[in-house]
Structure 1
Amino acid sequence: MTTGSETVLQQEKAAADAAITIHDPRDGSLVGSVPQAGPADVDQAVAAARAAQQGWAGVDPAARGELLHAAAAALNDNAERLAQLNARETGRPEAEALEGVKAGAATLRQYAELAPVHRGLSLRGSKMAADYTVAEPRGVAVLLTPWNDPVAVAAGLLGAALVTGNTVVHKPSERCPHLGAALGEVLAAVLPPDVLITLNGGPQVGSALTSHPGVDVFAHVGSSATGTRIAQAAALTGAHVIRENGGNDPLLVDAGVDPEWAAEQAAIGAFANSGQICTSVERIYVHRDIADAFCNALAEEARRRNTSQQFAPLVDTRLRDEVHAQVAQAVAAGAKATEGGEPPEGPGAHYPATVLLGCTEDMTIMTEETFGPVAPVTVVDSFEDGLQLAAAGRYGLAATVLTADMAHAQQAVAALPVGTVKINAVFGGAPGGSAQPRKDSGHGFGYGPELLDEFTQVKVVHVGLPGGVRR
């Protein structure tokens, strides 16, 4: 007969034994295995972060900022090693991975500078009283970060959470556990003990963290399905949730623009990082007046990437199979692949840049996030028709409009129910441009100065005169 305590021990041993094994998506070679955290590890990490939190919150914001500057320097010192791990685990070209590490270091420096000026408000009350607000850390923060830009995304959440006085338990994606462990070691080395704890593991570890009653705030960047589960779990524990989740971002190409320039923009948006960006171009609506020239130029952009021998693979064969299933379904339903559309033979998780014409709104590839290098195209008869289609759907992350008509640009800004609208550029934007995803794409400010507000809670203070004091 097995007792309850024996069952728990067996579960913990099984979790620890179930190591995460990673293969290089470029050639299928073994990268290595990393043990997963068990239930006891989760409890211990949350308890340790809780014990360290009060002391960390007592450190002056400027001093916390100085430690973040040290963390940024440590990232730069270890940039080559982290970039190499990123390349081996996710297939990201090493030069791009290195840019991601340096972007992460820059983000840490930005939050280090923002911390001392993250201020409260002076309130208008009685002449003989003082009324103001102060921002206090929420407590223990659990951060669940993705694999597609693992250092840069994690650094943003880590920087904002730590500099506002929260302690952090970080679970990096199970698709890059070696990188996640190394990142945690680099950053934790310059911070006080237990201010940052890294746990590796898959969905079981994530579920244990998101249902833990000792967590005060969750920040998640990843799929909408996972984000929804986190929000549901947090509703029971009372934790605050910040989430930037999936997208099905439209690109609307108006008549009157240069079709070759528009195709170049579409290719950048659909094929950058092999389509593995949350704000990738996922569906394209092009005006009939320029559709032929645009579609020919877009196919050529895809062909150029496919023949370059430098187009990066997807993160693993599981994702490649999911992407190809959507492409195959669209082709079976009447779409035509003018470039790509079939995974190559051989090792690794490669998938070609793919252009699909004749796509319709009943195809999964037009309604769900694809997360691969696929550019599905629908031809529309007018800007208004395209705008109506672009505004539809259950996601609300971002959208792009290419137009020379500023009235159309303003019309799109007003009509598109998304967190970010980009006019005449698929990527880019000024620093500090925080956005709030909508609908199934998430909730809250996931970056920018407003992220400091997400990781803090406001206390209102009223100071009056004691009784008997003359006014």
Structure 2
Amino acid sequence: MSSTTPTSTPTDVRDDESITIVDPRDGTEVGTLPCAAREQVSLAVSLSRSVQPEWASTSPAERGAALRRAATALRDGAQELADLNTRETGKPPADALGGVEAAVSTLEQYAELGPVHRGLSLRGAVTATDYTVAEPRGVAVLLTPWNDPVAVAAGLIGAALVTGNTVIHKPSERCPHVGELLGRLLQPAFPDGVFITLTGGGEVGQQLTTEADVDVFAHVGSSDTGARIARAAVLTGAHVIRENGGNDPLIVDADVDPVWAASQAALGAFANAGQICTSVERIYVCRAVAEPFLAALTEEARNRNTGGSFPPLVDRRMRDAVQAQVGEAIEQGAVCLEGGAIPDGPGAHYPATVLSDCTETMTVMAEETFGPVAPVTVVDGFDDALRLAAAGPYGLAASVLTGSIAHAQKAVAGLAVGTVKVNAVFGGAPGGSAQPRGISGAGFGYGPELLDEFSLVKVVHISAPPQEG
């Protein structure tokens, strides 16, 4: 193992004109794509605005049929898109294909939900009719992430289009080829200008936030970027939907099997190399089970590191950021039980890492790491764990492993997050949708409620005319 970054492998190159991506598994070049120029961005917004009224006047059933055509095209191109995702982000092949399959299902679901997205009847005078109708907001700009680029994008695309909005999609600059191919697969299902893909870096996204003809932004990504979008939207009046960073805690109660708890912690911290919005980012374990829990968690990490199939981080820029947090924690007194150093060789690999003796002042506990790091703090009891888990500015999700219904209920009430998961770090019923808190975002980003986010409600009141005589 080496604590320095190798220099023999090329890294991703970005400027205002093009983006070159390398495979994070071995450093080989994936390809280069041009960035949208300023005039292209403005023209895209103008085109999207010009065709939006006609798309809005299309019946919901027809819009749903277009989504079903898009889902079919995506299914036909699933393997090609998954392979490209693996090459561009390092996502394991099975997970990459699973993300595409989830995207197909999501488009099909919104194709069904859109036509039945209904208003309300209101109680008024007996001789009057009062009701609400949902109307599209207008032009929707979707800024999507690299860690699950197809599934996340499909949800936003499907909900925006089926409610009558036109869409400009800017995929992450860390996976522009995936975004470009996704656009080529989906675009033929819709009339010209209804669905547009723009590739580019932060400068493209920044320009989009200044365009007065954009009515709604949906952003999945970092809290810093989300905050900038929200501030810009104050000037343009655009509606903003954000699912942003998380620093999700995991509480391990004193009454659970420590080996099972370690397997859950490892799944939450190491799946997709820790590059999931709701990854476990910090762990609070009760002292009664801390020793066997740490031993089992260390073994979980070691098995991943020696198994030969642990995925890389998306690029070396991300790896350097993860290593900086780990190195700082060790300097400040954390004990590294497994991993914790950049390996020799090509690509952007980083080992599954377990840190014990962590404190709240360490960046690895206070901020989102977005890498395969499991930092652990031992606490005297559940109340201490809950107090620490509830602290901080993030509010995306949290997990609690406990055999006590009282402790579970206490956690649900005491954690200011969008999602609380009890006795499972991942999972949930289909269609679940939560509202993040704090700097983790705002608005519903998934599920049937996402249709409401992309809609405006109009109240209609119809009275009978006065009778003559």
Q: TM-score range by the shorter chain?
A: over 0.9
Q: How do 1:289-438 residues align onto structure 2 when only pairs under 5 Å count?
A: 289-438=288-437
Q: Which consecutive aligned stretches of 4+ in structure 1 deviate over 3 angstroms post-superposition?
A: none
Moved more, 185-194 or 222-231: 185-194
Contact 2:275/2:371 (8 A) holds in 1: yes
The 3 A distance-change label for structure 1 pair 52 and 255 is same
**Aligned-partner residue type, residue 22 of structure 2:** H
Query: For each residue in 1:75-120, what CA deviation from the matched residue of structure 2 results, as whole angstroms up to 9, or x when unmatched?
Result: 1100011001101100111121010000000000111110111100
Residue of structure 1 equivalent to 2:239: 240
Cα distance in 2, alignment partners of residues 359 and 17 from structure 1: 40
> Secondary structure of the residue that 1:85 maps to in structure 2?
helix
**Aligned-partner residue type, residue 384 of structure 2:** D
Cα distance in 2, alignment partners of residues 98 and 432 from structure 1: 20
Cα distance in 2, alignment partners of residues 115 and 291 from structure 1: 49
Deviation at 1:186, TM superposition (A): 0.5
State whether structure 2 residue 269 is matched by structure 1 residue 270.
yes
Residue of structure 1 equivalent to 2:66: 67
Cα distance in 2, alignment partners of residues 280 and 203 from structure 1: 25
> Secondary structure of the residue that 1:347 maps to in structure 2?
coil
**Aligned-partner residue type, residue 175 of structure 1:** R
**Aligned-partner residue type, residue 178 of structure 2:** L
Residue of structure 2 equivalent to 1:218: 217
Deviation at 1:468, TM superposition (A): 2.5
Deviation at 1:62, TM superposition (A): 1.1
Number of equivalences: 456
Deviation at 1:210, TM superposition (A): 1.0
Contact 1:305/1:353 (8 A) holds in 2: yes
Deviation at 1:469, TM superposition (A): 5.6
Cα distance in 2, alignment partners of residues 423 and 469 from structure 1: 66
Query: For each residue in 1:249-284, what CA deviation from the matched residue of structure 2 results, as whole angstroms up to 9, or x when unmatched?
Result: 000000110000000000000000000001000000
Deviation at 1:466, TM superposition (A): 1.4
CA RMSD of aligned residues (A): 1.0
Deviation at 1:467, TM superposition (A): 2.6
Structure 2's unaligned 5+ residue stretches are 1-13
> Secondary structure of the residue that 1:189 maps to in structure 2?
helix
Cα distance in 1, alignment partners of residues 432 and 93 from structure 2: 28
> Secondary structure of the residue that 2:121 maps to in structure 1?
coil
Residue of structure 2 equivalent to 1:446: 445
Query: For each residue in 1:132-186, what CA deviation from the matched residue of structure 2 results, as whole angstroms up to 9, or x when unmatched?
Result: 0000000000000000000000000000000000000000000111111010010
Residue of structure 2 equivalent to 1:29: 28
Residue of structure 2 equivalent to 1:456: 455
> Secondary structure of the residue that 2:101 maps to in structure 1?
helix
Cα distance in 2, alignment partners of residues 387 and 70 from structure 1: 47
The 3 A distance-change label for structure 1 pair 83 and 407 is same
Contact 1:16/1:37 (8 A) holds in 2: no
**Aligned-partner residue type, residue 254 of structure 1:** D
Query: For each residue in 1:174-203, what CA deviation from the matched residue of structure 2 results, as whole angstroms up to 9, or x when unmatched?
Result: 011111101001000111111100000001
Deviation at 1:16, TM superposition (A): 9.1
> Secondary structure of the residue that 1:370 maps to in structure 2?
coil
The 3 A distance-change label for structure 1 pair 95 and 469 is farther
Contact 1:223/1:246 (8 A) holds in 2: yes
Residue of structure 2 equivalent to 1:57: 56
Cα distance in 2, alignment partners of residues 297 and 450 from structure 1: 40
> Secondary structure of the residue that 1:197 maps to in structure 2?
strand
Contact 1:329/1:363 (8 A) holds in 2: yes
